[in-house]
Amino acid sequence: MKTKPVQLVYGIRLIATWMIIPFILMFIPMLIEEFSANVTTAEVTLKEEAYSMYPDEVLCFKTDINGRENIVFTSVDAKTGDKVTVILKNGSYYKTITDENEYRDHVTLPGRFLRISNNLYGYIVIALFAVLMLTVPFTLKKGKEVRPVYPKLAKITDIAGIICAVIMSAGLLYAVIENTLTGVVTGIFALIFGIVYSALFFLAWIIEWLIINKLKQS
Protein backbone atom coordinates (compact mmCIF):
# COMPACT_ATOMS: atom_id res chain seq x y z
CA MET A 1 0.00 0.00 0.00
CA LYS A 2 1.45 3.30 -1.07
CA THR A 3 1.32 6.51 0.97
CA LYS A 4 -0.79 9.26 -0.48
CA PRO A 5 0.97 12.16 -2.26
CA VAL A 6 -1.34 14.48 -0.31
CA GLN A 7 0.75 13.70 2.77
CA LEU A 8 3.82 15.14 1.08
CA VAL A 9 1.77 18.10 -0.15
CA TYR A 10 0.68 18.72 3.44
CA GLY A 11 4.32 18.98 4.55
CA ILE A 12 5.11 21.42 1.75
CA ARG A 13 2.06 23.53 2.63
CA LEU A 14 3.11 23.51 6.28
CA ILE A 15 6.54 24.86 5.37
CA ALA A 16 5.05 27.43 2.99
CA THR A 17 2.64 28.69 5.65
CA TRP A 18 5.45 29.65 8.01
CA MET A 19 7.37 31.27 5.15
CA ILE A 20 4.42 33.33 3.93
CA ILE A 21 3.70 34.96 7.30
CA PRO A 22 6.88 37.16 7.45
CA PHE A 23 6.21 38.60 3.99
CA ILE A 24 2.67 39.55 5.00
CA LEU A 25 3.95 41.14 8.22
CA MET A 26 6.40 43.23 6.16
CA PHE A 27 3.43 45.07 4.69
CA ILE A 28 2.21 46.28 8.10
CA PRO A 29 4.88 49.02 8.65
CA MET A 30 4.11 50.39 5.19
CA LEU A 31 0.42 50.63 6.10
CA ILE A 32 1.20 52.20 9.49
CA GLU A 33 3.55 54.75 7.95
CA GLU A 34 1.06 55.68 5.26
CA PHE A 35 -2.04 55.96 7.42
CA SER A 36 -0.39 57.51 10.48
CA ALA A 37 0.72 60.48 8.37
CA ASN A 38 -1.54 63.53 8.38
CA VAL A 39 -2.18 64.15 4.68
CA THR A 40 -3.76 67.47 3.70
CA THR A 41 -3.80 69.77 0.68
CA ALA A 42 -3.08 73.47 0.34
CA GLU A 43 -3.20 76.02 -2.43
CA VAL A 44 0.02 77.97 -2.79
CA THR A 45 1.26 80.75 -5.04
CA LEU A 46 4.41 80.20 -7.06
CA LYS A 47 7.05 82.82 -6.37
CA GLU A 48 10.58 82.97 -7.73
CA GLU A 49 11.62 80.15 -10.07
CA ALA A 50 14.39 77.95 -8.64
CA TYR A 51 17.00 75.78 -10.31
CA SER A 52 15.75 72.55 -11.84
CA MET A 53 18.01 69.72 -12.94
CA TYR A 54 15.46 68.68 -15.57
CA PRO A 55 13.87 71.88 -16.88
CA ASP A 56 12.41 70.06 -19.89
CA GLU A 57 10.41 67.79 -17.60
CA VAL A 58 9.76 69.65 -14.37
CA LEU A 59 10.19 73.18 -12.97
CA CYS A 60 10.94 74.28 -9.41
CA PHE A 61 9.50 77.33 -7.68
CA LYS A 62 9.92 78.91 -4.28
CA THR A 63 6.74 79.32 -2.27
CA ASP A 64 5.54 79.76 1.31
CA ILE A 65 3.89 76.83 3.09
CA ASN A 66 2.78 77.26 6.69
CA GLY A 67 5.02 80.29 7.05
CA ARG A 68 8.12 78.52 5.76
CA GLU A 69 9.80 78.82 2.39
CA ASN A 70 9.64 75.63 0.35
CA ILE A 71 10.59 74.44 -3.10
CA VAL A 72 7.73 72.87 -5.04
CA PHE A 73 7.84 70.96 -8.32
CA THR A 74 5.48 71.86 -11.14
CA SER A 75 4.82 71.13 -14.80
CA VAL A 76 6.93 72.89 -17.41
CA ASP A 77 4.12 75.30 -18.35
CA ALA A 78 3.84 76.80 -14.84
CA LYS A 79 4.97 80.38 -14.21
CA THR A 80 5.48 82.80 -11.36
CA GLY A 81 2.18 83.90 -9.84
CA ASP A 82 0.30 80.70 -10.67
CA LYS A 83 -1.61 78.95 -7.93
CA VAL A 84 -1.13 75.22 -7.53
CA THR A 85 -2.53 72.64 -5.14
CA VAL A 86 0.05 70.69 -3.18
CA ILE A 87 -0.09 67.67 -0.89
CA LEU A 88 1.28 68.12 2.62
CA LYS A 89 2.39 65.24 4.79
CA ASN A 90 2.51 66.18 8.46
CA GLY A 91 2.56 69.83 7.41
CA SER A 92 5.50 69.52 4.99
CA TYR A 93 5.46 69.65 1.19
CA TYR A 94 5.19 66.21 -0.39
CA LYS A 95 3.88 66.51 -3.94
CA THR A 96 2.16 68.87 -6.36
CA ILE A 97 -1.23 67.65 -7.56
CA THR A 98 -1.49 67.66 -11.33
CA ASP A 99 -4.83 65.89 -11.82
CA GLU A 100 -7.77 64.31 -10.03
CA ASN A 101 -6.11 60.88 -10.02
CA GLU A 102 -3.18 62.12 -7.95
CA TYR A 103 -5.56 63.73 -5.48
CA ARG A 104 -7.47 60.46 -5.12
CA ASP A 105 -4.32 58.33 -4.86
CA HIS A 106 -2.65 60.46 -2.19
CA VAL A 107 -5.49 61.97 -0.16
CA THR A 108 -8.45 59.56 -0.04
CA LEU A 109 -8.18 56.47 2.19
CA PRO A 110 -8.98 53.92 -0.57
CA GLY A 111 -6.54 55.64 -2.89
CA ARG A 112 -3.75 55.63 -0.31
CA PHE A 113 -4.19 51.90 0.30
CA LEU A 114 -4.26 51.10 -3.41
CA ARG A 115 -1.22 53.29 -4.06
CA ILE A 116 1.03 51.42 -1.63
CA SER A 117 -0.27 48.05 -2.77
CA ASN A 118 -0.33 48.79 -6.51
CA ASN A 119 3.21 47.56 -7.14
CA LEU A 120 5.05 44.27 -7.49
CA TYR A 121 5.56 43.80 -3.76
CA GLY A 122 1.93 44.70 -3.06
CA TYR A 123 0.75 42.17 -5.64
CA ILE A 124 2.99 39.49 -4.10
CA VAL A 125 1.75 40.19 -0.56
CA ILE A 126 -1.90 40.12 -1.62
CA ALA A 127 -1.32 36.89 -3.56
CA LEU A 128 0.48 35.29 -0.61
CA PHE A 129 -2.28 36.36 1.77
CA ALA A 130 -4.89 34.87 -0.56
CA VAL A 131 -2.91 31.62 -0.82
CA LEU A 132 -2.58 31.48 2.96
CA MET A 133 -6.29 32.01 3.50
CA LEU A 134 -7.22 29.41 0.88
CA THR A 135 -4.81 26.76 2.14
CA VAL A 136 -5.44 27.12 5.89
CA PRO A 137 -8.68 25.05 5.77
CA PHE A 138 -6.89 22.33 3.76
CA THR A 139 -3.92 22.34 6.14
CA LEU A 140 -6.14 22.06 9.20
CA LYS A 141 -8.32 19.36 7.66
CA LYS A 142 -5.51 17.21 6.34
CA GLY A 143 -3.50 17.71 9.52
CA LYS A 144 -5.78 15.28 11.35
CA GLU A 145 -4.93 12.64 8.75
CA VAL A 146 -1.26 13.34 8.14
CA ARG A 147 0.17 14.37 11.51
CA PRO A 148 -0.36 10.94 13.14
CA VAL A 149 1.70 9.42 10.29
CA TYR A 150 4.54 11.94 10.73
CA PRO A 151 4.19 13.03 14.39
CA LYS A 152 7.80 14.01 15.07
CA LEU A 153 8.49 15.60 11.69
CA ALA A 154 5.26 17.62 11.76
CA LYS A 155 6.00 18.87 15.27
CA ILE A 156 9.61 19.77 14.46
CA THR A 157 8.48 21.49 11.26
CA ASP A 158 6.09 23.64 13.29
CA ILE A 159 8.59 24.50 16.02
CA ALA A 160 11.36 25.33 13.54
CA GLY A 161 8.82 27.17 11.37
CA ILE A 162 7.72 29.40 14.25
CA ILE A 163 11.34 30.19 15.13
CA CYS A 164 12.18 30.86 11.49
CA ALA A 165 9.07 33.00 10.99
CA VAL A 166 9.96 35.12 14.05
CA ILE A 167 13.57 35.60 12.93
CA MET A 168 12.55 36.34 9.35
CA SER A 169 9.81 38.74 10.45
CA ALA A 170 12.21 40.61 12.74
CA GLY A 171 14.87 40.85 10.02
CA LEU A 172 12.51 41.88 7.23
CA LEU A 173 10.64 44.38 9.41
CA TYR A 174 13.96 45.90 10.46
CA ALA A 175 14.95 46.20 6.79
CA VAL A 176 11.69 47.97 5.92
CA ILE A 177 11.70 50.31 8.93
CA GLU A 178 15.42 51.10 9.02
CA ASN A 179 15.80 51.50 5.23
CA THR A 180 19.62 51.57 5.42
CA LEU A 181 22.44 49.37 4.15
CA THR A 182 22.48 47.59 7.51
CA GLY A 183 18.75 47.01 7.20
CA VAL A 184 19.14 45.61 3.69
CA VAL A 185 21.89 43.23 4.79
CA THR A 186 19.77 42.13 7.76
CA GLY A 187 16.83 41.51 5.42
CA ILE A 188 19.01 39.45 3.08
CA PHE A 189 20.25 37.26 5.94
CA ALA A 190 16.64 36.81 7.07
CA LEU A 191 15.71 35.64 3.58
CA ILE A 192 18.67 33.25 3.47
CA PHE A 193 17.60 31.84 6.84
CA GLY A 194 14.12 31.21 5.45
CA ILE A 195 15.49 29.59 2.31
CA VAL A 196 17.68 27.23 4.37
CA TYR A 197 14.72 26.27 6.57
CA SER A 198 12.51 25.64 3.54
CA ALA A 199 15.15 23.56 1.74
CA LEU A 200 16.04 21.43 4.76
CA PHE A 201 12.48 20.61 5.75
CA PHE A 202 11.33 20.15 2.16
CA LEU A 203 14.08 17.54 1.82
CA ALA A 204 13.15 16.02 5.19
CA TRP A 205 9.50 15.58 4.18
CA ILE A 206 10.47 13.99 0.86
CA ILE A 207 12.85 11.53 2.55
CA GLU A 208 10.34 10.67 5.28
CA TRP A 209 7.56 10.21 2.72
CA LEU A 210 9.74 7.94 0.58
CA ILE A 211 10.79 5.86 3.62
CA ILE A 212 7.22 5.33 4.81
CA ASN A 213 6.12 4.63 1.25
CA LYS A 214 8.81 1.93 0.92
CA LEU A 215 7.94 0.41 4.30
CA LYS A 216 4.28 0.11 3.33
CA GLN A 217 5.17 -1.53 0.05
CA SER A 218 7.28 -4.20 1.74
53-112 per-position pLDDT tens digit:
888 888 899 999 888 888 999 988 888 999 999 999 888 898 888 777 778 887 788 888
DSSP-derived 3-state class of residue 218: coil
Please state the domain extents for the chain: 5-35+120-217, 38-112
> Is this structure's pTM higher than 0.95?
no
Q: What is the CATH number of domain 38-112?
A: 2.40.50
184-201 pLDDT, tens digit each:
899 999 999 999 999 999
Q: Which residues contact 212 (CB under 8 A, 6 or more apart)?
A: 3, 149, 150
CA distance from start to end of the chain: 9
For β-strands 68-74 and 39-45, DSSP reports them as unpaired
Q: Which residues contact 169 (CB under 8 A, 6 or more apart)?
A: 21, 22, 25, 26
Residue 103 contacts residue 41 (beta carbons within 8 Å): yes
How is 66-100 classified by DSSP, letter by letter? TTEEEEEEE-TT--TT-EEEEEEETTEEEEE--SH
Strand partners, 89: 39, 92
Measured CA to CA, the distance from residue 17 to residue 23 in angstroms comes to: 11
Cβ burial, residue 103 (10 Å; 0-12/13-18/19+): middle
1-58 pLDDT, tens digit each:
345 688 888 898 889 889 989 988 888 887 888 788 888 888 999 998 888 888 888 8
